[in-house]
Structure 1
């Protein structure tokens, strides 16, 4: 802690505010010095039109700045110039460049927030601080962990990209020439939703810390089940998670294990789940298509502690590879808004020794 609004013994005692110079020093380190360049100067040094520089900044997710206000550093110049070169040499077009910038910036925003909240929670728990004091401690100690977090981001990105490249290669090399319409959604996937039952009612009676523990406990538990089977989390939405797998048996294992894992946790609310097989399109890290809509509708009508499927997906599962591991029991039809009448089946794991 630098000399400023108060003294500290290094433990981040309550009521102590980091000096402004401390935060300013962190900012200088993170952005590459004091902001000295205006928007016009940023564009000039990056050798791009001013409007292109504005588009880059907006795609980063930041508010507009006046052309004559010093806001940028040489690090901003280097970032803008690097993406501009990809467009100029024909590697990508401008639309793709903007999409890439939006993707990385949105992800970085969510990641920085997640990391900061985790550090705040850590300080509050270990140092027995209130939320305000814990945040001040994190501000004061940001430089101590920033470099490690940056290295971990690069490491994780490299690992994730390598894994994605391997999945794409495997899928393309084994993709049959099945005569699918060229206009059909490109990716055959199994996907499902899982959500907590009675979350709205329960959350209304919880304090902030208890609510945070409930949501985090659910998210960590379902992520562990999903990733351990080789499936992937598409997104979490508070009390729900959307997951995707490249094959139906894997997704079925995920769905039934999710129910069991949450049921074994008395500190969490029971869940219900859905599972559907179909084609989707992937954009902006999310998946879209009628299959996603169907899975969303199914989870809404599933009973607590069950996995609900449409009959076509259930038939594909039990008649396909590893189908003997599962039992799909017919359930009454349901009218789904925007979809129509859907034949349903409840998914369970087969009893030991069962054979199809």
Structure 2
């Protein structure tokens, strides 16, 4: 803030937004919420803590009818067997983290719009935007949630054993090459814009080829796909875009693994995920490395260690070209086994288009 510039008092706007979102003025203390909901204090405090809500003093009037109803609904889910003791903490924590991040981004967006020069009183503008924008945001969020439920249900029912904790998936890690040096040359706004652009393109490529982004981890993105060929196209498209000097997409490297993956609360776990990450760390710039599982599915060949060529153990230039008449769109170059964290003899292949 510049010297002499007065700081805006947005207290009135915050109170107006709070009234709109909570549908009424805060009217209950914590003890009154517990009494009205019939929920044990220890249970309520645990739920609020998992959700990341700030703790209110016993005599603070900070709650509304929505808080009472929400506690009742949580108890009903427990009684229905949906929120069992072993699922409750993880599920509620995921809700809390996800919605906290989403709410922070949305309020920042509203504030930026409201504080733009030339739009009148910013305090009134915040309250006005809340009434005009937030109902539409809420409806859109509900729609997106429902569409993702449909997709998730379809994937669950498509596997051979829907109750199994693991299912075959192709996992792709994509990592920006030279991220540290590039990030040092950008200011905060520039770095955010650069990473958001990277994430947006990654999402577009993943969705276009039938994959889905699990998460972005700074300069890295984790993508999964049910079809290994789709995962291969995602990885190759990203490294090709990064290798194009006329494309603003940054240079990247990728690791692709295929095998059993545990999906839980929107994230993925297991050795296949770990191997994909390790392959990424081994890959050279603008290169895709694949593991044995992905190689066998994509090439149509089962690799037998007993038939491993002697030259392959001593040279990274040993090639495994598609056999004559093979209709696979890919070619592979077998590299020497590598020792990485957790895997002493990880076998990678370079994946290229045929």
Does the TM-score normalized on the shorter chain lie above 0.5? yes
- How many equivalent residue pairs? 323
Deviation at 1:233, TM superposition (A): 0.7
2:176 aligned with 1:196 = yes
Match in the other structure for 2:148: 160
Deviation at 1:217, TM superposition (A): 0.9
Please give the residue correspondences for 1:23-102 in structure 2 after superposition, counting only pairs within 5 Å. Answer: 23-102=14-93
Match in the other structure for 2:157: 169
Deviates more, 1:85-94 or 1:300-309: 85-94
Match in the other structure for 1:247: 227
TM-score in terms of structure 2 length = 0.82
Q: Which runs of 5+ in 1 are unaligned?
A: 1-13, 176-181, 351-356
CA distance in 2, matches of 1:45, 1:237: 42
The 3 A distance-change label for structure 1 pair 136 and 286 is: farther
Deviation at 1:134, TM superposition (A): 9.6
Q: CA RMSD in A?
A: 2.9
Q: Which runs of 5+ in 2 are unaligned?
A: 302-325
Deviates more, 1:36-45 or 1:187-196: 36-45
TM-score in terms of structure 1 length = 0.82
CA distance in 2, matches of 1:138, 1:323: 59
Match of residue 290, structure 1, among 247, 271, 275: 271
The 3 A distance-change label for structure 1 pair 308 and 89 is: closer
2:132 aligned with 1:144 = yes
Does the 8 A contact of 1:272 with 1:303 survive in 2? yes
Deviation at 1:295, TM superposition (A): 1.0
The 3 A distance-change label for structure 1 pair 136 and 289 is: farther
The 3 A distance-change label for structure 1 pair 269 and 67 is: same
Deviation at 1:85, TM superposition (A): 1.1
Secondary structure in 1 matching 2:336: strand
Match in the other structure for 2:193: 213
Match in the other structure for 2:345: 341
* CA shift digits 1:181-212 (9 cap, x unpaired): x9x96221110100110101110111122212
2:254 aligned with 1:273 = yes
Deviation at 1:49, TM superposition (A): 0.7
